[in-house]
Chains A and B, each alone.
Chain A
Amino acid sequence: MKGDLALLQNAMHQFTLSVLTNEATLKGIIEKAGLSVSAKPFIPVVPPLFIRPEVFQRMARLEPRDERYHVDADDLYLIGSAEHTLGPLHMDEAIKESDLPLRYTAFTSAFRREAGSYGKDMRGIIRLHQFEKMEMESFTTQESGLEEQNFLVAIQEYLTAQLGLPYQVVMTCTGDQGDPDARHLDVETWMPGQGKYRETHSADLMTDYQTRRLGTKVKRADGKSDFACTNDATAFAGRTLVAIMENYQQEDGSILVPEVLKKWMGKDVMSGDRR
C-alpha cells in the first residue's frame, strides 16, 4: 500500500483517534444510542506485536493455534489483533471499581495465517495474512459489560456513518459465535464491488472468560472483589479502506475522499501519485 492509500489509512487512524479520545463526541454517541454508560475517553496505547504463549493462553486466544504465526527461536507468537496485547494490560491486578470503565485503543499490524479460510477471498486485499487494524478494548464490571458492548457497536456505527458508508448490524447466532464470546455483533459495510455487505467490524463480549484466567479483578467499594468483564471491538481495519475505495469510485477511476477525512488527507480526491 502506498501513496494516497497510505495517506488514507493514516487519515482513518487520525479521524478514529479524534473520536475515541473526545469525551463530548462519545457523549453524543451515547445519547443518540439511548445508553447510560460513562463517556470516559479511550487511552491510546502502542502495544507489543509479540506475545508469550502463556499470556496468549490466558487471553483464551492461543487457539486456533494453526491460525497463529510462531517465532520458533524465541518461542513468541505474533498477535492476530491488538486485543491480544491490550487484554493482558491488567493481568494479575485488582482494579478499583471507581476506576472503571477503563478503555484502551491501539492501531497495529495484525498477523493471521487464515488456515481455515482456504478459497475465501483469495484475490484482493480483503483478507490478508498481514493487515492493519485499530482496536478498542474495555474493562468494566460484569453488570455493565453488555451495555459497554452496545456502546462499542454504537461507536462502530458512528464511524461508519460519518464515512458515509451504508451498513447493517448483525447479531451472530450461537453456532457462528466464537467459543470465548458470550455475545458477538458485526457491522457489515456495503461493498459495491461484491454487491453485498461484508464484515468490517466485530464486537465481542467476553464476560469473565478471559479475566478469570488473566487474574484481572474488580475491587468493589465494599471491599469484596470479583472478576472484571472485557469487551473487544474493531475501530477500523483495512476492509474499511476497501469499502471507501469501492463506494467513492468515480467514472474516471479517481476516488473521492469522504468529507470527515479531508482535513487529515490534505486533499479531496485520490487520483494517484502520477510518478
Chain B
Amino acid sequence: MRGSLGPSFRQGLSPHPSYPSSSVPSSKHHMIDLKFLREQTEKLKEVCRQKNVALDIDAILNLDTKRRELSGKLDELNRLRNDAAKSKDIEAGKRLKQEGIALEAELAVVTGELDPLLLKIPNPPSDDTPVGKDDSENVVIRKVGEPKTFSFTRKSILSWGRRLGLLTQSAVPMLRVRVLAI
C-alpha cells in the first residue's frame, strides 16, 4: 500500500530532499492483502481463532489507520514544503522541515510496531480445509494399500541397521539425540 504520492514525485523534489521513503511501507512487509485486514476484519479474526493464532486484530487495524493518517500528513507536508520552496518562503520551509522530522519519527514508531504484527497474520485457510483445533481433527481422505503382516518378530532399525552395515558404529549412539556429527 503506497501513499497518494509515489516515489517519483518525491524524487522530483530533489533540490529540497524529501523525508526518507520509510513513509511508503514496502509491499514486502505484507503477507496478506491489507484490504482483507481493513474490509473483512471479522473474517480475519475468525481465521486467527481457527488457526490458533493469538493476534489482536483490532490493535493492528488501529496501527494501520494511524500509519495511513501519518503517511497522508507527511505527503501533505511535502506538498506545502514544495510550495514554500517555489515561493522562496524560507521561514515556512524551515518550520515545515521541523514538523516533517517530528512526523517522520512518529511514523517510524508506528511502523516499528505494526510491521512485525503484519508478518504474523496467517494465510486464510481454503474453503475445503476442515476446521479443528489440532492434529486429532485432521481428516483421512483416502487409504491405499494394505499394511503387510509379518510372520516373524521384526528388528529395530538402530540395532539391525548397524548389523547390516547401513549405519556407522560411531553415528548410532549419537542418533539417540537426533544428531549426526563427527
Contacts and interface: CB of A to CB of B under 8 A. Distances in A.
Interface string A243-275: 001110101011100000000000000111111
Given A166-B147, A168-B142, A193-B156, 18 more contacts: A1-B167, A1-B171, A114-B178, A124-B156, A124-B158, A173-B131, A176-B132, A179-B120, A180-B123, A182-B124, A190-B145, A208-B33, A209-B31, A210-B31, A245-B166, A249-B160, A270-B166, A272-B166
Q: Which of A166, A174, A209, A214 has the most CB of B within 10 A?
A: A174
A114 B79 CA distance: 53
B152 A166 contact: no
B28 A161 contact: no
Given A57-B119, A130-B180, A173-B139, A179 B164 contact: no
B142 A5 contact: no
Contacts of A168: 140, 142-144
A4 to B, nearest CB: 6
Contacts of A165: 145
Interface string B168-182: 100100011111100
16 contacts: A58-B28, A122-B178, A128-B175, A166-B147, A167-B144, A174-B130, A176-B137, A179-B51, A190-B147, A192-B147, A205-B126, A208-B33, A213-B30, A215-B28, A246-B157, A249-B154
A90 interface: no
Contact of B31 (A174, A213, A246): A213
A247 B155 CA distance: 11
A46 interface: no
Range of interface residues on A (Cβ < 8 Å):
35 or more
The 4 A-B residue pairs whose C-beta atoms are closest, nearest first, are: A173-B132, A166-B145, A5-B166, A272-B164
A101 B9 CA distance: 37
The secondary-structure label for the interface of chain A is loop
A164 to B, nearest CB: 8
A203 interface: no
B139 A122 contact: no
B53 interface: yes
A140 to B, nearest CB: 15
B140 A176 contact: no
